[in-house]
Structure 1
Amino acid sequence: MKIALIHFRTGQTDGVSLEMDKWRFVLEKMGHQVRYISGSPEADIYLPELNYKNPQNEKFVRNAYQHLSDYQNETAFKTEIMTAVEKLNQHLKEVIKKAKFDLLIPNNIFSLGWNIPAALALAKVIREFELPVICHHHDFYWERELYSEPSCNFIAEILADYFPPSLTNSEEVVINSLAQAELKKRKGLKSTVVPNVFNFQQQPWQIDSYNYDLRSKLGIKADDIIILHATRIAERKAIELAIETAAKLARQLTNFELYDGRIFGPENEVVFLLPGLPEAEAAYLEFLKQMAADYNLKLIFANQLFAQQRQQSAGQKIYSFWDSYVIADLITYTSIKEGWGNQLLEALFAQKPLLIFEYPVFRADLSSYGLKLASLGSDYQKRKNGYIKLPADQFKGAIQEAIKYLKDTNYRSEVVAHNFAVGACYFSYQRLENLLEKLLTKFDLVT
């Protein structure tokens, strides 16, 4: 069967792109032919109108959700959007008809509200061609503040009618039980929960002839402690909690032998590493830098050195995102909001200990699996600038647990082995294959 996975971008390190790669791998393993349609130039089928940073769409977003300022009135705004819809509709019809797809799997096209022409155009194609579709919803517009106040009635109606749309041959997929309940409540639609997964059967990530020099490339000494925060850099990731935790942890570390025999001495330091894609406002990035400076914590932004795969760029060695896990001593994951938790699963596979903030989906869908983690709890406060903080005593238990991870070899080994086993059992590619087979059976599309 020929399947199209559709999104704004592909081949990047955001959660949706990563999850699409996993679906593609599993679907191809099941015997299907899979192609990407996206706004990324490297996609199998490249449509610039879908690009996440398409200038025209950014103009639409600004006028739809912030202020209707670039158009004389709502009618003029609607006219330009509908013109874009017709143009993209024609392009989609051409590529879908030429490729003879049997099934479409749009990712966030019908849920986030980011690209209104894409949603309207794709819905029109699906209805015209009567194609079966699995609508994969990673994030919904009602979960994001950006979409909370549409600028005009036209946009409000579009959000109500097309996110997601009513399609005759469609299955809705969400990534957690909270989204499942909210979709049913708001739109009356039933859905299947397909959690994020990871390939726990691949070769383990290790120091090798390619990444052996990564510490030195980053200016980090062999005996320094690396705390890795592997998410994208965005406000909802609450990276300030991880920085504060790392700083408080550093203050409690004196001369001692690490879990792997290295000696953490007076000349060594705790390094906070951020390899993820910066997507936050400039003010947030400056806040993080200043916070680290105030705590005298070494902070390294290193996105320029990492990509989804190892490669050479302008004569410079670019490391795989996974290489950052290899050199890490501890992983922090302090988001206050996540759809599931890709970096959590990655840490389980990498067999690195985790320090987390218990975001709502973790508590609802992940806490019951018995993972062994250092926890900052689930309650937070906001600073005057809107960023996140915790009461001082809320750090203590997590920091003491993290110190055990860094000092106690046997304890650390037991924790990471247990977490790996949980991940391999419940969040593997095999589980994804089983869930996808059930979905395809509903269409009578199993090969």
Structure 2
Amino acid sequence: MPTKSITPGHRIGFIGTRFAGTDGVSLEAAKWAKVLWHHRHTSFWFAGKLDTDPSVSMLVPHAYFGHLDIQWVNDRVFGVSTRDPEVTRRIFALAEHLKRSIYEFVRHFDIEILIVQNALCIPMNIPLGVAISTFIAETNFPTIAHHHDFYWERDRFAVNAAGDLLRMAFPCTIPSIQHVTINSEAQRALSHRRGVSSVLVPNVLDFETPPPGLDDFNSDFRESVGLAPDDILFLQPTRVVPRKGIEHAISLIKQLGNPKCKLVISHESGDEGHEYLNALREMADQQGVDLRFIPDRIGEERGVNANGEKVYLLADAYLHADFITYPSLYEGFGNALIEAFYYRKPVLVNRYSIFVSDIEPRGFEVITMNGYMTRDTVDEVRRVIDDRKYRQAMVEKNYELSKRFFSYAVLRRKLRALVTNVTGMDDL
């Protein structure tokens, strides 16, 4: 398929394993589509799991990493060092099916530019990565590959029997692909490992539009989750997985020694089991820390859960929070940190590598720790809680800095360059 002559108002095809829910890839893809739409570019969606408008979408079940056939492949190529010929045959059969589906997607919606979201960097679906790479190789199709996570960043992919396929497709380095990374560490690693350059596009929020305030629905959030009006709400707005370092948040509240301080965790345990959650509950109980685990009270939409209890947005929890804990050991970027800046909340950060390289140098004011809780860190948190004027100056500075470095304006500039590289015209 030859490269098309592209005219203003382009038809953009997003390809990924999933565009549904509140995972980071889906959220960032939606932001990209929103910015593109403001400049007359129409977005279309191809994935194995979708909550997008069916009229602009193509649902292909085998594109989803959770499909049984894809799980069958993953079970036989990761954690082992040899690959059975039948596994190879199945991978390429699935890839051929998916490639035909991509051809159909491009034809049906008259797609002019592809944006691949994370499907060419982390091998959750090897057949999909092979299919996309083969399609681009056969067509020289103009493609923007947005890389959120690389397989070499994850221990679970270290031992595998698919090195040939990983080198082929994760990522593919065909010249018609423009690569996008979300942090400078990934940008350097991609250049070193694959010999290709990339454009750094950080994750963003709409800082030009202030967050919503309290309203009739969310005004009772504290009471609804069992907190008193004068309790000090420490919000941990993450999943419960070990790399989030939530034990440090418990330690912080223990050392503050204030019974009014309550720790609220908004998200579920994720896909790594409940051992960590159970350990956190035991730790909190032993240290006398009031820990509230409320994933059934936070959803993608406001409503009522199966128990007849109100379900709030994560934004509602942020609005009521007094302080955000973010003691992660590792993050690809740090969406919850940017959200804390957006909702003008003070935040504790464990100085993970991407924070040190890409965020801290911008001059943001946060309370930091370096892998362990010190008395100085606890005292600084106490000051932020007690000194309203000091706290307000801190969060306002962070909001203004975020408008400069992590806003839609930044994304707009980056997308303008990427699209212009394809079209030869300044379209955004």
Is 1:42 the counterpart of 2:46 in the alignment? no
For 1:59, give the aligned amino acid: W
- 1:439 paired to 2:421: no
Quote the residue 1:289 is aligned against: 281
For 1:177-216, what aligned pairs fall within 5 Å after superposition?
Answer: 177-216=184-223
Provide the residue aligned with 1:352 in structure 2. Answer: 345
| 1:101 Cα deviation after fit | 0.9
Q: Residues 114-159 of structure 1: CA distance to partner in whole angstroms, max 9, x if unpaired?
A: 1101101112222333321101011100000011011x2xx01111
Where 2:219 maps in the other structure, the secondary structure is: coil
Shift of residue 350, structure 1, vs aligned partner: 0.3
> 2: CA distance between counterparts of 1:197 and 1:414?
22
Identity of aligned residues (%): 30
Rounded Cα–Cα distance in structure 1 between residues aligned with 2:68 and 2:240: 22
Question: In 2 relative to 1, CA 306–145 (structure 1 residues): closer, same or farther, beyond 3 Å?
Answer: same
Tell me the distance in 2 between the aligned counterparts of 1:183 and 1:99.
32
Cα distance, 1:68 vs. partner? Answer: 7.5
Say which SS state the counterpart of residue 375 (structure 1) adopts: strand
Shift of 1:353: 0.3
Q: Deviations over 1:252-311 (max 9, x none)?
A: x3xxxxxxxxxxxxxx53221111242132222222222222222222222222223434
TM-score relative to the length of structure 1: 0.87
Q: Hey, what's the Cα distance between the residues in 2 that align with 1:308 and 1:430?
A: 25
| Cα pair 1:14 1:232 within 8 Å, conserved | no
1:326 maps onto 2:333 in alignment: no
Return the alpha-carbon distance in structure 2 between the equivalents of residues 21 and 438 of structure 1: 19
Q: Which residue of structure 1 aligns with residue 153 of structure 2?
A: 143
Please state whether the residue corresponding to 1:436 is helix, strand or coil. helix
Contact 2:324–2:347 under 8 Å retained in 1: yes
1:256 alignment counterpart: none
What do residues 320-348 of structure 1 show as CA deviations (whole Å, max 9, x unaligned)? Answer: 12111011110011111111111111110
Distance 2:127 2:112 in 1: 23
Partner of 1:13: 22
CA-based RMSD of the aligned residues comes to 1.9
Alignment partner for residue 399 of structure 2, among 411, 417, 420? 420
Amino acid at match of 2:323: L
Q: Which aligned pairs between 1:45-444 and structure 2 lie closer than 5 A? A: 45-67=58-80, 74-150=84-160, 152=161, 155-249=162-256, 251=257, 253=258, 269-279=260-270, 280-311=272-303, 317-377=310-370, 380=371, 390=372, 394-444=373-423
Gaps of 5+ in 1: 254-267, 381-389
Is the contact between residue 11 and residue 41 of structure 2 (CA under 8 Å) also seen in structure 1? yes
Distance in 2 (alpha carbons) for counterparts of 1:178 and 1:5: 25
Q: Identify if the C-alpha distance between structure 1 residues 283 and 200 changes in structure 2 by more than 3 Å, giving closer, same or farther.
A: same
Letter in 2 for 1:156: G
Partner Cα separation in structure 2 for residue 100 and residue 128 of structure 1? 17
Query: Cα distance, 1:28 vs. partner?
Result: 0.9
| Residues in 1 aligned to 2:253 and 2:116: alpha-carbon distance in whole angstroms | 39
> More deviation in 223-232 or 429-438?
223-232
1:110 maps to amino acid: L
| TM-score of the pair, normalised by structure 2 | 0.91
Size of the aligned set, in residue pairs, is 411
Do 1:11 and 1:308's aligned partners in 2 also have CA atoms closer than 8 Å?
no
Shift of 1:414: 0.7
Inter-CA distance 75–46: structure 2 relative to 1 (3 Å threshold): same
Cα pair 1:229 1:333 within 8 Å, conserved = yes
SS of the counterpart of 1:222?
coil
Which residue matches 2:6? none
Structure 2: how far apart are the matches of 1:316 and 1:36? 34
Tell me if structure 1 keeps the 8 A contact 2:173–2:196.
Answer: no
Match of 2:34 among 25, 41, 44: 25
Question: Secondary structure in 2 aligned to 1:105?
Answer: strand
**Runs of 4+ that moved beyond 6 A:** none
Deviation at 1:312, TM superposition (A): 5.1
Q: 2 CA distance for matches of 1:9 and 1:306?
A: 21
